[in-house]
Amino acid sequence: MKSFPMFIRTTGRRVLIVGGGEQAAQKARLILKTDAHLVLVSPELDAELSTLVASGRAEQIAGPLTSALFEGAAMTFVATGCPGLDAAVHALVTAARCPVNVVDQPDLCDLTTPSIVDRDPVVVAIGTEGTAPVLGRQIKTEIEQMLIPNLGGLAALAGRLRSAVAARVPREGRREFWRWVFADAPRDSWTRGAERDAARLIKDAVAAGGAPATTTIGSIAYVGAGPGARDLLTLRAVQRLQEADVVFYDRLVEPEVLELARRDADRVFVGKVVGAHAWPQERIDAAVVAEARKGRRVVRLKSGDPGIFGRLDEELRAAAVAGIATEIVPGVTAACAAAARLDRPLTKRGETDTVVLATARSQKDGSIPDLERHVQPGTTLAIYMGASAVGEISERLLSANVPPDTPVDIVADASKSGEVRVTTTVSGMARTMSASGIGGCAVIFVTLPRSLRGRMGHPETRVPGRAVGRVAGS
Q: Which residues are catalytic?
A: 250, 272
H/E stretch holding 314: helix 312-321
Spatial distance between the Cα atoms of 164 and 209, rounded to a whole number of angstroms = 10
- The backbone torsions φ and ψ at residue 270, rounded to the nearest 5 degrees and listed phi first, read -95, -5
Pair 21, 145: CB distance under 8 Å: no
For residue 348, what is the DSSP state? B
Residues 224, 333: Cα–Cα separation, whole Å: 8
Q: How far is CA 381 from CA 81, 185, 319, 374, 388, in A?
A: 55, 43, 33, 7, 17
The candidate with the shortest Cα–Cα distance to 301, out of 335, 343, 269, is: 269
* Main-chain dihedrals φ then ψ at residue 467, nearest 5 degrees: -90, 90
Q: Which residues pair with 224 in a beta bridge?
A: 302
Q: Helices in 169-246 by DSSP H: which ranges?
A: 171-183, 185-191, 195-208, 235-243
Buried residues in 229-251 as b, exposed as e (16+ CB within 10 A): bbebbbebbbbbbbbbbbbbbbe
Give the DSSP H/E element, type plus range, for residue 37: strand 37-41
> How many other CB atoms are found less than 10 A from the CB of residue 154?
23
Q: Burial level of 7, CB count in 10 A (0-12/13-18/19+)?
A: exposed
CA distances from 395 to 20, 228, 319, 404, 464 (A): 68, 31, 41, 10, 12
Nearest C-alpha neighbor of 317 from the set 309, 326, 308:
326
**Burial (0-12, 13-18, 19+ Cβ within 10 Å), 440:** middle
